[in-house]
Copies of this chain bind each other. A is one copy, B any other.
Amino acid sequence: MPALPTPSVTPPDVIRAAYAELIVSDIAASRAFYVGVLGLVVTYEDDDTLYLRAFEEYLHHSLILRRGPVPALAALAYRVRSAGELDAAVAYYEQLGVRVERRAAGATRGVGEAVRIEDPLGFPIEFFYDSEHVERFTRRYDVQGAGAISRLDHFNIVTPDVPAARDYYEGLGFRVSEDIKDDEDVVYAAWMHRKATVHDVALTGGDGPRMHHIAFATHERSQILHLCDHLGALRQSDRIERGPGRHGVSNAFYLYLLDPDGHRIEIYTHDYYTGDPDNPVVTWDVHDNQRRDWWGNPVVPSWYANASTVLDLDGEPVALTHRTEARESEVTIGADGFSYTRKNDAELGFKLGSQV
Interface residues of A (CB under 8 A from B): 15-16, 56, 58-59, 79, 81-82, 133, 136, 138-142, 144-146, 148, 150-151, 195-196, 219-222, 225-226, 228-238, 240-242, 244, 246, 248, 251, 253, 269-270, 272-273, 275-280, 289-290, 293-297, 299-303, 305-306, 341-342, 347, 351-356
Contact = CB atoms under 8 A, between A and B. Distances in A.
Contact of A229 (B141, B300, B354): B141
A294 B351 contact: no
A56 B342 CA distance: 23
Number of this chain's copies in the complex = 4
B142 A270 contact: no
A294 B138 contact: no
Contacts of A240: 295-297
A233 B145 CA distance: 13
B142 A234 contact: yes
Contact of A220 (B81, B221, B299, B306): B221
B232 A246 contact: yes
B251 A139 contact: yes
B146 A144 contact: yes
A294 B228 contact: yes
B280 A133 contact: yes
Dominant secondary structure of chain A at its interface with chain B: loop
A280 B134 CA distance: 10
Given A136-B280, A139-B251, A237-B294, 4 more contacts: A15-B275, A58-B279, A141-B230, A221-B221
Nearest to A148: B146
Nearest to A258: B354
The 10 residue pairs across chains A and B that have the minimum distance between CB atoms: A300-B353, A237-B296, A302-B354, A141-B229, A232-B294, A146-B146, A141-B233, A302-B353, A142-B233, A228-B295
A263 to B, nearest CB: 14
A290 B146 contact: no
Contacts of A58: 279-280
A79 B279 CA distance: 13
Contact of A236 (B146, B195, B341): B341
A287 to B, nearest CB: 13
A9 to B, nearest CB: 21
Nearest to A150: B272
B82 A277 contact: yes
Nearest to A305: B356
A118 to B, nearest CB: 26
B290 A235 contact: yes
Given A235-B342, A237-B289, A341-B237, A301 B354 contact: yes
A241 B228 CA distance: 20
A301 B356 CA distance: 6
Contacts of A269: 219
A229 B133 CA distance: 24
Nearest to A296: B237
B228 A246 contact: yes
Counting chain B CB atoms within 10 Å of each CB, the highest count among A195, A248, A272, A355 belongs to A272
Counting chain B CB atoms within 10 Å of each CB, the highest count among A82, A138, A234, A279 belongs to A138
Contact of A351 (B81, B196, B237, B277): B237
Nearest to A293: B237
A130 to B, nearest CB: 9
